[in-house]
């Protein structure tokens, strides 16, 4: 059975196990995960948080990461501004980024979610409101959600990937991971560094 790890990647951690050649020391997956033979199925930017899947099976890894399979990825996104429904419509229709049109996204305004504190915290500005969105996409372009919100005038302040397909980061603290023994396994064991 393939092993699948559900890791809650903290802010500032690279989605790779090494960082050779960098002039500064940056945190990587090896600071949190000592499981041999697993590799990230997709990426999550250094300045994003939340669910990162790792597995030891190439076919499963491809199924999760390859945009051809259109596996839904849901993000909780704190944006600068107070968007109205009409402001979100371009995201729902698909919009043009540098490399072409995005697929339509599912987008809804939500109340501020009950998340862990981010380190460092988001800078709050009294004169500029912020809001939370739940955005689900079925592709994975580089920094796509951040670029999409910026394109409609809503810069992203905080981005948390909450789920990929049926897998979620719910109940997993930042820096911890759960190990599932196979695709049907939903009750994993949580590990700390």
Residues marked active site are found at: 45
SS (H, E, C) 26-66: CECHHHCCCCCCCEECCCCCCCCEEEEEEECCHHHHHHHHC
Number of H helices, E strands in the chain: 3, 12
Find out whether 5 and 178 touch, Cβ atoms under 8 Å: yes
Q: Is 191 exposed, middle or buried (0-12, 13-18, 19+ CB in 10 A)?
A: middle
Task: Output the CA–CA distances (angstroms, integers) from residue 148 to 71, 89, 154, 159, 162, in the order listed.
Answer: 18, 12, 9, 12, 18
Spatial distance between the Cα atoms of 155 and 176, rounded to a whole number of angstroms: 28
């Amino acid at each position: 059975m393939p092993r699948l790890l559900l890791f809650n990647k903290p802010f500032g951690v690279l989605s790779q196990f090494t960082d050779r050649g960098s002039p500064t020391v940056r945190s990587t997956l090896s600071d949190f995960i000592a499981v041999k033979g697993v590799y990230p199925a997709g990426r999550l930017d250094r300045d994003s948080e939340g669910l990162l899947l790792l597995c030891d099976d190439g076919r499963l890894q491809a199924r999760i990461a390859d945009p051809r399979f259109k596996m839904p990825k849901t993000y909780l996104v704190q944006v600068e501004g107070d968007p109205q429904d009409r402001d979100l419509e371009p995201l729902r229709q698909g919009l043009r980024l540098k490399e072409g049109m995005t697929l339509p996204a599912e987008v809804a305004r939500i109340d501020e979610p009950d998340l862990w504190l981010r380190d460092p915290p988001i800078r709050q500005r009294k004169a500029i409101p912020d809001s939370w969105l739940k955005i689900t996409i079925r592709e994975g372009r580089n920094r796509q959600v951040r670029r999409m919100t910026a394109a409609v005038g809503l810069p992203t302040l905080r981005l948390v990937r909450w789920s990929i397909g049926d897998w979620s980061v719910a109940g997993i603290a930042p820096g911890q991971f759960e190990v599932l023994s196979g695709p049907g396994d939903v009750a994993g064991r949580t590990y700390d560094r």
